[in-house]
A and B are shown apart, each in its own frame.
Chain A
Amino acid sequence: MIVSWKWLKDYIPLGMSVAELEHRLSMSGLNHESTTKVANDLAFDLEVTSNRPDCLGHLGVAREISVLWDLPLEIPDPRPTASGPAITDLTNVTVECPELCYRYTARVIRGVEIGPSPDWLASRLRTIGFAVINNVVDISNYVLMECGQPLHVFDFGLLNGPEIIVRAARDGEEFAAIDHRRYQLEPGMCVIADTQRAVALGGVMGGVDSEVSESTTDLLIEAAEFSPLSIRNTARKLNLHSPS
């Protein structure tokens, strides 16, 4: 996993030398593999072993560093104010397969304008090797690499209902992913659907017909927890892999 020096500094003061940081991280379990200079930032490639999922994100790595050097850790505490109608007036979420999806949360943001991300955001994503697309996609990638929680964003206007139903796929159900290919689903796969069709494969990939585009004005943001086994089996069977 790649982390950015400048980004880490948001959470923790990095007073030590680069070499010292590399060495101590290796000696504490985050094996340092390489450091690359990208623009005027540094990208560290760290090996995160499978018993340390807490380090899959800049906050996790910053936490490690704060413990190693006894430095104060600043975790962002965003509290956005909600306005407008209650979300329950706008949509509904039902989880029909709790064994495939442990928890599903959704928020709606209306009246957005899709455009390019600010420079600081774009350069951080580039440092860690992510493609810069548009403000919404970039934000969801940023959050993933900040705290390790994957998000998915739907075009709220393209959801039928509009509501979200988390259910098992029907045998042979067809799904068009954002890679513009059609897939045949099987019953073990966890599907995010609206009232009419599957709009995403839980934890694997979003659907192309609910994808955020330049004309999107309303968003539904998903933050959810899916069964790791289901994600892996689905991804392997369909050969669909993504950073999330």
Chain B
Amino acid sequence: MALAEFLEDLDELADAAVAAFAAATDPKTLESARIEFLGAKKGRLKTVQKKMGQVDKTDRPAAGKHFNQLKQRIDQAFAAARARLDQGASPARQSKKEPFDPTLPGMSVTLGRRHPITQTIEELKEIMGRLGFHVADGPEIEDAWHNFEALNIPPEHPARDPLENFYLSVAGSNDEPMLLRSQTSTVQIRVMEHTPPPVRIISLGRVYRPDTADATHYPMFHQMEGLLIDTRVTMADLKSVLRMFATSYLGGDVHIRFRPSFFPFTEPSVEVDYQWNDQWIEFGGAGMVDPNVLEAVGYDPEQVTGFAFGLGVERLCMRRHNITDIREFYKNDVRFLHQF
């Protein structure tokens, strides 16, 4: 290709580019023009640039010099057009701006809310507090003694099965197996170990059981544990406390019934139901504390007796708010959580 031809193409292109940029009346048009001329892949400048390879070798330095000059000219034209459009826009925008209207409502700040489980726990603490129960806490990672042995669950009992508990792969400080607690009864033991009777505590917290998650089960959930140890405590006291609790939480005069059952750490053991609209609904389990458990913590079963009960927190919360799927609590969906 002759040098003259090449230079001619270049000049033509540069003129076209400058004209196009000058003619652009809004950013959109300018942008399309830019892509047409200065586009990195298919821009017309690029096309011409490629043709430089076809220019005779001796002419190439001159061609290149001219090319650079023209590119600069095109770039400047583009920059000028852009500046013009930007400047032109602002005065126009400003003139459209409205005066400030102070009668409009302000922008509200979204407030956080407590999780419904937390709210339920707080309420339960308050109700039981009025009945004279203090709140006790315990670790979620327990050793086998606190979670089983002290609760009258001997070494070979099926409740200890790895299929029924989340055992940790690391052992405790004395090489005993550690697990995520499967019930809050462990806190009973911890309190009784360090306190002489009388004891009047509740403990609320997370427990863990390997359960497939479905509408009514979840591998992690919350329990409320109650324990009362004193001299001459009877099952009538247990029933009274549970009835007062149920009445406080559910409102109205709520009746409680006991059904015989079995737990290793209580004797006798019962399952507790409450009556609601002519239906009996499961509340949880309870019983008189097994003498073996009292002995394990150093109490004298001939001197003191006591009762214990355990209720599921999620179940109470679901009942109160008509929630049908326990998994809603753990999805962390703000649309669900901010309704409480």
The verdict on B112 contacting chain A, using a C-beta distance below 8 Å, is: no
Task: Digitize B251-273: 1 where CB-to-A-CB distance is under 8 Å, 0 elsewhere.
Answer: 00000000111100000000100
Check A52–B262 contact: CB distance below 8 A. yes
CB nearest to A52 among chain B residues? B262
Interface range on chain A (Cβ under 8 Å from partner): 10 to 19
Q: How many interface residues does B have (CB within 8 Å)?
A: 8
Check A49–B158 contact: CB distance below 8 A. no
Residues of A within 8 Å of B262, CB to CB, are: 29, 49-52
The verdict on B156 contacting chain A, using a C-beta distance below 8 Å, is: yes
Check A27–B158 contact: CB distance below 8 A. no
The verdict on A105 contacting chain B, using a C-beta distance below 8 Å, is: no
The verdict on A149 contacting chain B, using a C-beta distance below 8 Å, is: no
Residues of A within 8 Å of B158, CB to CB, are: 50, 232
Residues of A within 8 Å of B161, CB to CB, are: 236
Residues of B within 8 Å of A233, CB to CB, are: 156
Residues of B within 8 Å of A26, CB to CB, are: 259
CA distance A150 to B262 in the complex (A): 24
* Interchain pairs with CB closer than 8 A, number: 22
Task: Digitize B151-175: 1 where CB-to-A-CB distance is under 8 Å, 0 elsewhere.
Answer: 0000010100100000000000000
Residues of B within 8 Å of A29, CB to CB, are: 259-262
- Among A51, A229, A232, the most chain B Cβ lie within 10 Å of the Cβ of A51
CA distance A229 to B158 in the complex (A): 10
Given A49-B261, A50-B262, A51-B262; A31-B156 close (CB under 8 Å): no
Q: How far in angstroms is the closest Cβ of chain A from B264?
A: 8
Residues 158-209 (chain B) with a chain A CB within 8 angstroms:
158, 161
Check B260–A28 contact: CB distance below 8 A. yes
Q: How far in angstroms is the closest Cβ of chain B from A238?
A: 15
CA distance A52 to B156 in the complex (A): 18
Secondary structure of the B contact surface, majority rule: strand
Q: How far in angstroms is the closest Cβ of chain B from A187?
A: 17
Check B261–A27 contact: CB distance below 8 A. no
Check A27–B156 contact: CB distance below 8 A. no
Q: How far in angstroms is the closest Cβ of chain B from A22?
A: 12
8 Å CB contact of A229 from B156, B260, B271: B156
CB nearest to A50 among chain B residues? B262
CA distance A51 to B290 in the complex (A): 14
Q: How far in angstroms is the closest Cβ of chain B from A50?
A: 6
CA distance A236 to B161 in the complex (A): 10
Residues of A within 8 Å of B261, CB to CB, are: 29, 31, 49
CA distance A236 to B271 in the complex (A): 30
Q: How far in angstroms is the closest Cβ of chain B from A215?
A: 40
Task: Digitize A189-230: 1 where CB-to-B-CB distance is under 8 Å, 0 elsewhere.
Answer: 000000000000000000000000000000000000000010
Residues of A within 8 Å of B271, CB to CB, are: 31
Q: How far in angstroms is the closest Cβ of chain A from B312?
A: 17
CA distance A51 to B152 in the complex (A): 13
Residues 220-271 (chain B) with a chain A CB within 8 angstroms:
259-262, 271
Task: Digitize A17-30: 1 where CB-to-B-CB distance is under 8 Å, 0 elsewhere.
Answer: 00000000011110
Residues 1-49 (chain A) with a chain B CB within 8 angstroms:
26-29, 31, 49
CA distance A236 to B260 in the complex (A): 30
CB nearest to A48 among chain B residues? B262
Q: How far in angstroms is the closest Cβ of chain B from A189?
A: 15
Q: How far in angstroms is the closest Cβ of chain A from B97?
A: 72
Residues of B within 8 Å of A51, CB to CB, are: 262
CA distance A232 to B159 in the complex (A): 12
Q: How far in angstroms is the closest Cβ of chain B from A181?
A: 21
CA distance A50 to B259 in the complex (A): 15
Residues 253-305 (chain B) with a chain A CB within 8 angstroms:
259-262, 271
- Among A29, A229, A233, the most chain B Cβ lie within 10 Å of the Cβ of A29
Known pairs A31-B271, A236-B161 / 6 extra A-B pairs, C-beta < 8 Å: A29-B259, A29-B262, A49-B261, A49-B262, A232-B156, A233-B156
Q: 20 A-B contacts, Cβ less than 8 Å apart?
A: A26-B259, A27-B259, A27-B260, A29-B259, A29-B260, A29-B261, A29-B262, A31-B259, A31-B261, A31-B271, A49-B261, A49-B262, A50-B158, A51-B262, A52-B262, A229-B156, A232-B156, A232-B158, A233-B156, A236-B161
Tell me the A residues contacting B by CB distance below 8 Å: 26-29, 31, 49-52, 229, 232-233, 236
Tell me the B residues contacting A by CB distance below 8 Å: 156, 158, 161, 259-262, 271
